Structure 1
Amino acid sequence: MTTSLVQKYNVPGPRYTSYPTVPYWEDESFSGKIWQDTFIRSFNESNASEGISLYIHLPFCESLCTFCGCHKRITKRHEVENPYIEAVLKEWNLYCDMFPERPIIKEIHLGGGTPTFFSPENLKTLIDGLFLRAERAEHHEFSFEGHPNNTTREHLKQLYDLGFRRVSFGVQDYSETVQKAIHRIQPFHNVAKVTFWAKEIGYTSVSHDLIFGLPFQTLEDVVDTIEKTKSLSPDRLAFYSYAHVPWIKGNGQRGFKDEDVPKDDEKRRLYEIGKQLLTKKGYHEIGMDHFALKRDNMFTSFREGKLHRNFMGYTSSKTQLMIGLGSSSISDSWYGFAQNEKTIEDYYARLEKNELPVFKGHFLTNEDLIIRKHILNLMCQFTTSWDESHLYFKELPEVISQLDEMENDGLLIIQNNAITVTEKGKPFVRNICMAFDLRLKRKAPQTQLFSMTV
């Protein structure tokens, strides 16, 4: 990758887990009543054919990792577990009271925070509580994020018995210098232990999350981390860019200086070399920043055009309705988004009033739905088309004109009413999606809202 391309396209840009992105939601027109109407509409359209997805946010962590951009609560007091689970199940029951029929759950993802902060017994209470008023889809996919330092064999066995078959372990980087800077001291043998346990128990997909661009991280660190990772042979990997956004996340990302973070070509080289190594070791690029071995169902989903992306990240199949439970969780009815109260105290207060704890959201216009489809296509399949009339929009000629320069740079091909991202262009897929982002174009941010695209 040439220096000029990195300099040219390294601008702040969204990661597009949604469109419109959260800063462009029209909060002023949001109402809880209309939100209920949208998720009931979506439920009626999709429950019988697809089922629904649940994302459950478990926000507690025992220590702060300074690379993290998630909503979390730092505590060592485990007596917080039971009240939180009771609140999540109360929220779920409020939704169940509104569903016209018993929901069929196809996907569950436990995120955080640190889901394995909770005891195996309490996680069982949570999952069992969900199914008091729901059915499991025949081909369900349940997954969770595990911290290698506190995930026990009991955690893995209990969740396996509850139907979980995928686990993602946060690795980030094995360098002691990097780990100290990000406050995540995590020896290789801890990761190896939980990976082997998961495979032995029967998990069919074990994933490792790696990050490039961390403070003090060198090329040698990235190579060493990938070599160690390959020795454990996880089925899939996330290899993504560290989002340095201290202006949003405050002191959590001020444990080091800005100049300690690799930038521009130095950072991009970490990705390029890392990607080359992963490819040599049998991993195939799946969507943005994700890689999988051929045996993993994410690879199959990508090849069959079934890959989907939402607030849980990439998923191997689509459900139209995704409900977020827990503080700060975001729900997606396809026609609208709704975010829960961010603080645990506000979340509890709303539930005590028997109210859905949503505090802001956005209802998608017809234009939003078209743009969302194009961005999803690009993010999940590296291609999109407007051959069908319902995917055409009046600003499309302007979008194509804006993409001409990227085509000249070899990042994409425009032909036959379609755009295809080239191998050279995959690292710039966020930039390509930004050409479709009409809301971003109409109202450029006055302050930096997003991390850099490169």
Structure 2
Amino acid sequence: MCFSLINKYNVAGPRYTSYPTVPYWNQDLFSLQLWKEQLIKAFKESNQTEGISLYIHLPFCESLCTFCGCNKRITKRHEVEQPYINALLKEWNLYCNLFDEKPIIKELHLGGGTPTFFSTENLTLLINGLKAKADLATNYEFSFEGHPNNTTKAHLQTLYNLGFRRVSFGVQDYNPIVQKAIHRVQPFNNVKRVTEQARAIGYTSVGHDIIFGLPFQTEAHVTETINKTKALLPDRIAFYSYAHVPWIKGNGQRGFKDSDLPSANSKQKQYQLGKELLANAGYEDIGMDHFALPSDQLYKASKTETMHRNFMGYTASKTKVMIGLGVSSISDSWYAFAQNEKSLEAYYQHIEKDIIPVFRGHILSKEDLIIRQHILNLMCHFKTSWINNGLYFEEIPEVITKLKEMQEDGLVNIELNQIFITEKGKPFVRNICMAFDLLLQRNKPETQLFSMTI
């Protein structure tokens, strides 16, 4: 990888789990009533054909990992579990009351925080409570994020019995110095244990999350981590750049100095090395930061171009409706986004008053919907086209002009009415998407809102 390209394109940019990105949501044109109307519209259009997705945010963690940018509440008091489960089920009931038929759940994902903070009894109460108000699609997929240190065999068996077949474990890095810096000390044997237990129980997809660009991390550390990962051969791997955003996350990302972080060039070396090691181990590059074995469902979805990207990350299929339950969760009706209260106290206050706990959102315009589709195409399939008139927009010539330099650098191929990202351009997919981001172009931020793209 040419380091001049790294220096050239290493700028702050969105990860595009949505378009428009959250800082560009127009809250003046948003209301809870409008959100309900757009959600009901999308539900009626798609429930019987696609089903819906559910994301459940479980925010509690027993200790603070300093690399983490998620919304969490640090506590060792497990009596917080049941009141939170009760609030989640009440929120789900508020949503179900909006619909004139039972939701059909296609996907359900438990994220956090630490979902395995919760006892098996409370997780059973949650999942059975959600199921009681819904039907399941014939090919539904339930997944959860597990912490290798506190995910027990009982967790894995209980969730499997409830319908879960996919689990991802946060590995980050196996080096003790790096683990200490990010306050995430977990021995390889813990990851090995939960991975092997999940497989023995019958999980069909086990994933590992690995991060590069962490404090004190070197290429040797990345090699060590991936070599150990190869020994366990998880079905899919998220290999992504550490997002250093302490101005957003406060003290949670202040456990080390900026000078302890690898340079942009070092990070790119770590990425290239990791990508080569994963390819040598049989993993395919299927999307930004994601790799999978050819036997995994996400790889197959990438080949059939049915892979989708939303606030849960990459998924093997698309649903128009994704409802987020829990503090800080984001919902998506395709036509609108809505985010729940970030404060646990404010979330509870809304639930107690029988109010869906949304505090901000965005109603997508016709232009937003077109740009969103282009960015999804680039993120999921490394190409996009406006041959279909429905995806043409007036600023296309300006976008092409912005991409000309990237074409000269070998990152994209621009053909008649379509764009293809080259193999060389895949690490720069966020930069390429930024050329389509009209809201970002029209109102460039005066302060840094996003992590660096490299």
Flag whether TM exceeds 0.5 (same fold): yes
Superimposed CA distance per residue, residues 148-183 of structure 1 (whole angstroms, 9 cap, x where no aligned partner): 000000000000011100000000000000000000
Task: Note the 1:41-440 alignment, pairs <5 A.
Answer: 41-440=41-440
Amino acid aligned to 2:315: T
Distance across 1 between alignment mates of 2:32 and 2:135: 26
Percent of pairs identical after alignment? 68
The letter of the residue matching 1:314 is: Y
Measured after TM superposition, the shift of residue 263 of structure 1 is: 1.7
Secondary structure of the residue aligned to 2:384 is: strand
3-state DSSP of counterpart to 1:98: coil
Mapped partners of 1:116, 1:368: distance in 2: 37
Q: Secondary structure at the match of 2:44?
A: helix
Rounded Cα–Cα distance in structure 2 between residues aligned with 1:266 and 1:61 = 31
CA-CA distance at 1:330 after TM superposition: 0.2
CA-to-aligned-CA distance 1:288-309 (integer Å, 9 cap, x gap): 0000000100000000000000
Deviations 1:230-267 (A, max 9, x none): 00010000000000111111111111110100121111
- Aligned partners of 1:241, 1:2: CA distance in 2, in Å? 18
Per-residue deviation, residues 73-132 of structure 1 (Å, max 9, x unmatched): 000000000000000000000001111111100000000000000001110100000111
SS of residue in 1 equivalent to 2:97:
helix
User: 1:33 & 1:55 partners in 2: Cα distance?
Assistant: 21
Report the counterpart of residue 10 of structure 1 in structure 2: 10
SS in structure 2 opposite 1:131?
helix
> What displacement does 1:270 show?
0.3
Distance in structure 2 (CA, Å) of the matches to 1:49 and 1:248: 39
Aligned residue identity for 1:272: Q
In 1, Cα distance between equivalents of 2:266 and 2:102: 53
What one-letter code is carried by the residue in structure 2 that aligns with 1:60? Answer: F
Q: 2:107 is aligned with what amino acid? A: E
Separation of aligned partners in 2, 1:255 and 1:97: 44
Shift of residue 3 of structure 1? 1.1
Query: In structure 1, how many angstroms separate the alpha carbons of the residues matched to 2:3 and 2:225?
Result: 25
Q: Secondary structure at the match of 1:286?
A: strand
Distance across 2 between alignment mates of 1:340 and 1:402: 36
- What secondary structure, in the 3-state scheme, does the structure 2 residue paired with 1:170 have? strand
Could you tell me how far apart the structure 2 residues matched to 1:264 and 1:144 are?
A: 32
Distance across 2 between alignment mates of 1:254 and 1:345 = 25
Q: Distance in 1 between matches of 2:98 and 2:306?
A: 30
Count of residues paired in the alignment: 454
| Shift, 1:442, TM fit | 0.4
- Give the 3-state SS of the residue equivalent to 1:436 in structure 2: coil
Deviations 1:395-417 (Å, cap 9, x if unpaired)? 00000011000000000101131
Instruction: Find out whether 1:441 has 2:441 as its counterpart.
Output: yes
Q: Which amino acid aligns with 1:115?
A: P
Secondary structure in 2 aligned to 1:285?
Answer: strand
> CA offsets per residue over residues 358-377 of structure 1, 9 Å max, x none?
00000000000000000000
AA aligned opposite 1:23: P
Quote how far apart the aligned CAs of 1:202 are. Answer: 0.3
Structure 1: how far apart are the matches of 2:341 and 2:266?
A: 39
Unaligned stretches of 5+ in structure 1?
none
In structure 1, what residue type is equivalent to 2:412?
L
- In 2, Cα distance between equivalents of 1:251 and 1:140: 39
Structure 2 counterpart SS, 1:159: helix
- Residue 227 of structure 1: CA displacement? 0.2
Q: What is the distance in 1 between the residues matched to 2:328 and 2:367?
A: 27
Distance across 1 between alignment mates of 2:450 and 2:215: 19
SS in 1 for 2:132: coil
Q: How far, CA to CA, are the matches of 1:184 and 1:26 in structure 2?
A: 37
**2:64 counterpart letter in structure 1:** L
SS at match of 2:110: strand
The residue type paired with residue 298 of structure 2 is M
> Aligned ranges for residues 27-46 of structure 1 at < 5 Å?
27-46=27-46
Q: Tell me the amino acid that sits aligned with residue 332 of structure 2.
A: D
2:435 alignment partner, SS class: helix
Instruction: State the AA in 2 paired with 1:434.
Output: M
The letter of the residue matching 1:243 is: A
Name the Cα RMSD after superposition.
0.4
Amino acid of the residue matched to residue 103 of structure 1?
Answer: P
* Alpha-carbon distance in 2 for matches of 1:7, 1:13: 14
Counterpart residue identity of residue 293, structure 2 = L
Deviations 1:42-88 (A, max 9, x none): 00000000000000000000000000000000000000000000000
User: Aligned equivalents of 2:329 and 2:114: distance in 1?
Assistant: 14
